[in-house]
Amino acid sequence: MQKWDERFSEEGFAYGVEPNDFLREKLENFPVGAKVLCIAEGEGRNALGLLKRGCEVHGVDLSSVGKEKALAFTQENGFKMTYEIADLFEYDFGEEKWDGVVSIFFHCPTRTRMEFHQKLERALKPGGLYLFEAYAKDQPEFGTGGPKDEELLYTTEDFKNSNLEQLHLEGVKREIIEGKYHTGMSSVIQYLGKK
């Protein structure tokens, strides 16, 4: 928690103010009025993109500094979201509660990954969407952001046992310009699934 409070206490926005590119590309898949959970939401950039789409957004993150910035940021832009501080590994996502779950650059350890993603799948209502982007196993070669620990990095194989209808699954090399901590050519895994 301290790491994230320190990062979000810095001047400006650690990961920029624009929504993640993959989320922006897939926003039209989220219906207006959808109730969306944004995990590891940080300073609110992804929430704002969904709010502008007409979704209701609830953010969850470890950082109280991130929460305060996100609430102020969305309010300054004329929107309101709900947000709570929680450890995602202990958080109750509910059952068939959300029309969408968004996970952008939340890196879950390999040993708990399958169980964690199954909890997110169960939290979706029928027809609900799970949108995910995180760094791939070869990302450390690029040195442009994300964890160095291979246990926190992904492959497309991480989604082979998903119970969702696969709408999109791809390993991508792309230019990321999302604040000072995610900048440059990067290797990511992108996934969109539907319950």
- Band of the pLDDT at 180, cuts 50, 70, 90? confident
pLDDT category, 43, cuts 50, 70, 90? confident
How far is it, in rounded angstroms, from Cα 149 to Cα 94?
A: 30
Tokens of 125: 């209502």
User: Which of helix, strand or coil describes residue 174?
Assistant: strand
> Domains along the chain?
2-194 (3.40.50.150)
Task: Return the pLDDT at 7.
Answer: 66
E strand or H helix at 39? strand 35-39
Q: How would you class 63 by CB atoms within 10 Å of its CB: exposed for 0-12, middle for 13-18, buried for 19 or more?
A: buried
CA–CA separation, 117 and 110 (whole Å): 11
Which of the pair, 176 or 15, is modelled with greater confidence? 176
Confidence of residue 102 (pLDDT cuts 50, 70, 90): very high
pTM recorded for the entire structure: 0.93
- As a whole number of angstroms, the distance between CA 63 and CA 40 comes to 9
**Three-state SS at 69:** helix
Q: Percentage of the chain surpassing pLDDT 90?
A: 79
Distance CA(84)–CA(154), nearest Å, equals 26
